[in-house]
Chain A
């Protein structure tokens, strides 16, 4: 593989971080990050999600695809939207779901993460959906689980949140069509702490988006963000000018250490999205937000509830996208799986 060592996240997640996502047939085995996956894989996720969006609109919202599979939601960090949409997605595929809230479980009694994992693995599970406050946690787990288990990253630290990014791509595609080449997408706010923004930027660039912009005060931008293939702005109106898509991010106060911002009021004055400011974007621009929204901090209520807002559509599409990722990772040909053959034929390979 080329140039992997130069990526800034390498130190955290290791060289093979994005290679372990695919089996030897190029099918998705784990979904840990949008980084390093080709447009073919990302488009396949979106196409598959399109099929499942129809299931969610039926009166009986259930198909038997993953009957008999057991999916474990392993949440080391609080979440409502993501955990419930993962749970609904699994249930609509007829899988059995186990929700484990780690903060109230064994790790607080001193058990190590690996011991916890091995115990759950011993219960014959097929998939872990992992959220953790440390960057790289999902990769670590994927590297240490039994070969028949798939891992989906539901957010790790400030590193990646790939299913959120893909539901955002799905929302953009539903509203703006399949060709991202002529789109200008502006991501506004706390980029520094946002795993969503990182995953979005990788996905947008892989899907050949014409112009990806980030807009934030300097203190909320990671160093070297330009190298991710974005245009940087510090002024909101200049940044969202003629944008087709405006994505607002929440100020992650719980992750802020030190004086990054003078006050929420001043942030709203400069970066809060109001109806008046939105005039700078295209007249048919859509406004997105991964949630939870802070009204009056990064977005005005009139915009959040307005006609251009697709924030609640994002939540609905999240179910279809998660159903797609779950079926793609669990629905691979077993004999084609590199890891399963590993135990038997390690000596035969090459």
Chain B
């Protein structure tokens, strides 16, 4: 097993990479959107760090709860307490920075993009993930990742938080229900 960097170390890297990307692509007034729950923790810190010296984001952090857009709804049913997605009323022509904690199958990102498009037609979506692991099931890649990790099926990495942020590696046997 490789030695993992801490979430805080990765966050500092993400902030630098994102700042470079925004200036390279000349993206003005981006909107940062965190995906519940881990993605919002990461996005909260990233939003703070990037706005500490100059104002990159003019609006507060937005958030998405993708429960209504999951593709496994008919198999696992619904979580009764869905947190309201908090987005500006209109995302037309906005440059969106979508933030999640761990990129795994890609299904969460697919659901998040479907929900975003219910709010309008963004100019672009940039995907930022603290951690990226093996096991993609959809053709989706992040624009910026903190670290890549190779995991076998049945192994899971989970972000715990919000204070402090930490990674937790889990071994799961096959007959247990996966929520990854």
Nearest CB of chain A from residue B87's CB, rounded to whole Å: 9
Question: Which of B68, B73, B114 has the most chain A CB within a 10 Å cutoff?
Answer: B68
Q: Name A336's closest neighbour in chain B (CB-CB).
A: B77
State whether A331 and B81 are in contact (beta carbons under 8 Å apart), knowing that A60-B119, A64-B114, A65-B68 are contacts in the complex.
no
B118 on the interface (CB 8 Å rule)? yes
Contact A333 B76 (CB under 8 A): yes
Nearest CB of chain A from residue B140's CB, rounded to whole Å: 19
Contact B69 A64 (CB under 8 A): yes
Distance, CA A154 to CA B67, complexed state (A): 27
> Which residues of chain A in 19-49 are interfacial with respect to chain B, using CB atoms and an 8 Å cutoff?
27, 44, 47-48
Contact A332 B80 (CB under 8 A): no
B139 on the interface (CB 8 Å rule)? no
Distance, CA A162 to CA B67, complexed state (A): 26
Distance, CA A62 to CA B115, complexed state (A): 10
Contact B84 A327 (CB under 8 A): no
When distances are taken between beta carbons in the complex, the residues of chain A under 8 Å from B89 are 59
Interface string of B117-156 (1 = CB under 8 A from A): 0110000000000000000000000000000000000000
Q: Which of B78, B114, B118 contacts A327 (CB 8 A)?
A: B78
Contact B75 A63 (CB under 8 A): no
A51 on the interface (CB 8 Å rule)? yes
Distance, CA A48 to CA B90, complexed state (A): 26
> Which residues of chain B in 52-110 are interfacial with respect to chain A, using CB atoms and an 8 Å cutoff?
67-69, 73-78, 80-82, 84-85, 89-90
Interface string of A44-78 (1 = CB under 8 A from B): 10011011001100111011110000000000000
Distance, CA A55 to CA B83, complexed state (A): 11
Q: Which of A54, A63, A331 contacts B77 (CB 8 A)?
A: A331
Contact A48 B80 (CB under 8 A): yes
Distance, CA A55 to CA B84, complexed state (A): 8
Contact A65 B119 (CB under 8 A): no
When distances are taken between beta carbons in the complex, the residues of chain A under 8 Å from B80 are 44, 47-48, 51
Contact B81 A60 (CB under 8 A): no
Nearest CB of chain B from residue A166's CB, rounded to whole Å: 14
When distances are taken between beta carbons in the complex, the residues of chain B under 8 Å from A58 are 118-119
Distance, CA A142 to CA B118, complexed state (A): 36
Contact B118 A62 (CB under 8 A): yes
Distance, CA A234 to CA B78, complexed state (A): 44
Nearest CB of chain A from residue B32's CB, rounded to whole Å: 20
Distance, CA A331 to CA B71, complexed state (A): 12
Contact A51 B118 (CB under 8 A): no
Contact B73 A51 (CB under 8 A): no
When distances are taken between beta carbons in the complex, the residues of chain A under 8 Å from B114 are 64
Contact B77 A332 (CB under 8 A): yes
Nearest CB of chain A from residue B97's CB, rounded to whole Å: 21
Residues of chain A at the chain B interface (Cβ within 8 Å): 27, 44, 47-48, 50-51, 54-55, 58-60, 62-65, 327-328, 331-334
Ordered nearest first, which 4 A-B pairs have the shortest CB separation?
Answer: A51-B82, A63-B68, A54-B84, A47-B80
Additional A-B contacts beyond A54-B82, A55-B68, A64-B114 (19; CB < 8 A): A44-B80, A47-B81, A48-B78, A48-B80, A51-B67, A51-B68, A59-B89, A60-B118, A60-B119, A62-B118, A63-B69, A63-B118, A64-B68, A64-B69, A65-B78, A327-B78, A331-B73, A331-B78, A334-B74
